[in-house]
Structure 1
């Protein structure tokens, strides 16, 4: 059975279309790159709800969550368990109006770096007015240890194997809803029906879009641009990065190492990573991000990369116009 998934590359590619359409802002004098609209944004905004207000998106997510939870409840009863639909666990959509994301603004980068260790979202107030309560908590607690294990396997599928965990860490794991319990089946049913990108009808188009991202990365002009950026970083004392994305990823990798090192032994309380080490990484992040910004400005990185992307997107649209129009129409159906 074929299982569809939205790969990290496709997610980033699809998001870029919306981001470049207006979710990012550029500092004064930074050029027009952030103000230009991706050719594919017309289609991807329809697919990912970019044309909906935050309230409309929230209503959409709430309705999907309600449908999923009701299906999960029916499935769990069939498996011999009780289950109360948990309608309070859906996604909460934030408009982000109070958060500014400006990775090309020097003052912003001086404060946040890449937004990894420290982020403007960390300062957002948390609404504690509605405390989360799992409606199935008491029922699960009444079960024996073996029954609890069976309950969660029925709900979410068996725990991942060591091989699957390794694949997750390497970014090579492919989700299969058929092994994800009642939740997997319910989510597949809802998203297969309401998200056309997950349907077999548009599988060839989604595969082609994955390939478009890879084609962009393989383009000789992209390699030339990354080489110029890498040489600039090396001259600035930050060598070892083949592509611009490698610099940012290096911070997240080091951050993950700190969290992994803080993982408690069985039965111990989790206390989090060493704060001094995290603070030091935050300072390192800002220094690296500023050097990255300097080299991006020196090589006109963003505008050049965007020009390459947009040119390839235009060709992609010309080659897949019929499929894209069908995808947009399917996404806009009520």
Structure 2
């Protein structure tokens, strides 16, 4: 099952990216959104976050402007975001870092595996909300516009106000429904389903015990095997940093390259026909 990526301000990142002009069946893309487009989106997101903070302050709540949905440098070569990169961009990174798990110990000062600001990617507003009592939390959600339908009580919530002002999104619920439909369209596209099965079959031919090869899941199967917690869960050898990290990295690199070699047509379809799906789904839930 997909896990919707929640951006700062509790706004699904796919909705905001969609507001910038990326759609599931939009124009072809080869290497993901251009840097200028990503920078423009980041600036817009910062503006929206500041608006949410000001709005919440007026309603008596603390809100910290945050951009936790910003794609990290590690995303260039691991997980769903890497599907937006051409294989010749991903390959040299995986040849050195694998999936970036054991590489954290082998290259402790390399920002491509150990980002200095990694801890800052946790949204501080989650804790702010959790620390409220039940009545305050309900009031907080109503102020944000996340406690049901935005604006149902009269005034739109702060998220909806900022989204409308900055991105032109006038109805968060409708935008969420549109995102859900985009995902369903992707997952039911015969070409996508066939490419995902081909991806899974290729992994099976390399000895991976993959039971399902569904769109949105197949691209994280090998990655989840090399993450410490999930390696034990699937009964595979833990290729994390247990023992010699360089030995672990060597094994991890092999798996990362197997995955890259198998993803071919599936990655091509995602990159050229469904780039926004990457931002609607990150990993499995």
Normalising to structure 1: TM-score of the pair?
0.45
Partner Cα distance (2:139, 2:164) in 1: 19
Partner Cα distance (2:59, 2:199) in 1: 53
Partner Cα distance (1:197, 1:256) in 2: 40
Partner Cα distance (1:115, 1:23) in 2: 21
The reply to whether residue 64 of structure 1 matches residue 39 of structure 2 is no
- From 102, 107, 112, the counterpart of 1:121: 112
- From 263, 268, 273, the counterpart of 1:296: 263
The reply to whether residue 90 of structure 1 matches residue 66 of structure 2 is yes
Gap change, CA 1:113 and 1:18, over 3 Å in 2: farther
In the alignment, what sits opposite 2:96? Answer: 111
The reply to whether residue 235 of structure 1 matches residue 177 of structure 2 is no
CA deviations on 1:52-74 (whole Å, 9 max, x unpaired) are 573x5555344333322222222
> Which of the pair is proportionally richer in helix?
1
Q: Which has the higher contact order (CA 8 A, sep 6+)?
A: 2
Asked if the contact 1:177–1:188 (Cα under 8 Å) also holds between the matched residues in 2, the reply is no
In the alignment, what sits opposite 2:29? Answer: 21
Structure 1 unmatched ranges of 5 or more: 25-40, 78-82, 128-133, 135-139, 141-147, 160-174, 262-273, 314-334
Q: Kindly report which structure 2 residues correspond to 1:269-280, keeping only aligned pairs within 5 A, or say none.
A: 275-276=241-242
Gap change, CA 1:153 and 1:116, over 3 Å in 2: farther
Partner Cα distance (2:221, 2:158) in 1: 34
Partner Cα distance (1:284, 1:9) in 2: 38
Partner Cα distance (2:243, 2:73) in 1: 32
Query: How far apart are 1:253 and its partner, in Å?
Result: 7.4
In the alignment, what sits opposite 1:194? Answer: 166
Query: How far apart are 1:21 and its partner, in Å?
Result: 3.5
Partner Cα distance (1:75, 1:256) in 2: 43
Give the secondary structure class of the aligned counterpart of 1:223: helix
Partner Cα distance (2:42, 2:13) in 1: 24
Structure 2 unmatched ranges of 5 or more: 1-9, 78-84, 105-110, 119-123, 149-155, 234-239, 277-285
Normalising to structure 2: TM-score of the pair?
0.51
Partner Cα distance (1:246, 1:98) in 2: 19
